Amino acid sequence: MTLLYDAAYLVLAIISLPAFLKRLAQAECAKELLKQRAGVLPASLKETLIGKKVIWLHAVSVGEVMAVEHFIKSLLQECPGYHIVLTTVTPTGQRIAKKIEGPRVSVCYFPFDFSFAVKSFMRDLQPECLLLAETEIWPNLITEAARCRVPVGILNARLSRRSVRNYTRFRGLFHPLFSRLDFVLAQTRADAERFESAGVPQANIEVLGNMKYDNVSLEDAQGDLNLELRSKWGVSKDDPVWVAGSTHAGEEKILGRVFLKVVQKYPDLKLVLAPRHVERSSEVAGLLNKMGLETAFTSSPRIEKSSYKVLILDQLGILKKVYAMADAVFVGGSMVPKRGGQNPIEPAVFRKAIVHGPHVFNFERVYQILDEEGGAMLAMDESELALALERILGSPAENERLGRSAYQAVVSLRGATEKHVRWLADFLASETELVKG
Report the candidate in 187, 163, 186 with the shortest Cα–Cα distance to residue 174.
Answer: 163
In a domain, 215, yes or no: no
In a domain, 370, yes or no: yes
Mind listing the pLDDT tens digit for each residue in 233-276? 989 888 999 999 999 999 999 999 999 999 999 999 999 999 99
| Top-confidence residue, 393 or 8 | 393
| Model confidence at 416: pLDDT above 60 | yes
**122, 216, 312, 385, 412 from 329: Cα distances, Å:** 43, 17, 15, 11, 21
Average pLDDT over residues 196-206: 96
Q: Which of 65-69, 118-122, 228-232 has the highest mean pLDDT?
A: 118-122
| Model confidence at 393: pLDDT above 70 | yes
Nearby residues of 342 by Cβ (< 8 Å), 6 or more positions away: 63, 245, 246, 276, 331, 332, 333, 334, 362, 363
CATH of the domain at 249: 3.40.50.2000
73/171 same-domain check: yes
Amino acid at 4: L
In a domain, 242, yes or no: yes
187/69 same-domain check: yes
Report the candidate in 150, 154, 138, 127 with the shortest Cα–Cα distance to residue 56.
Answer: 127
Judge contact between 212 and 238, C-beta under 8 A. no
When divided into structural domains, the chain yields a total of 2
Q: Which strands make up the sheet holding 295-297, listed edge to edge?
A: 295-297, 310-312, 270-275, 241-247, 328-331, 354-356, 376-378
Q: Supply the range of the domain harboring residue 365.
A: 222-411
204/227 same-domain check: no
294/397 same-domain check: yes
Report the candidate in 86, 187, 176 with the shortest Cα–Cα distance to residue 140.
Answer: 176
The reported pTM is: 0.78
245/334 same-domain check: yes
The pLDDT value given to residue 19: 87
144/259 same-domain check: no
15/134 same-domain check: yes
81/180 same-domain check: yes
The pLDDT value given to residue 160: 86
Kindly state the helix (H) or strand (E) to which residue 107 belongs, with its residue range: strand 105-109
Give the Cα separation of 94 and 338 in Å (integer): 25
The pLDDT value given to residue 437: 53
136/272 same-domain check: no
In a domain, 214, yes or no: no
The pLDDT value given to residue 58: 97
How does residue 436 score in pLDDT terms, banded at 50, 70 and 90? low
**4, 108, 271, 421 from 178: Cα distances, Å:** 17, 26, 44, 23
115/12 same-domain check: yes
Mind listing the pLDDT tens digit for each residue in 299-338? 987 777 677 999 999 998 889 899 999 999 999 999 999 8
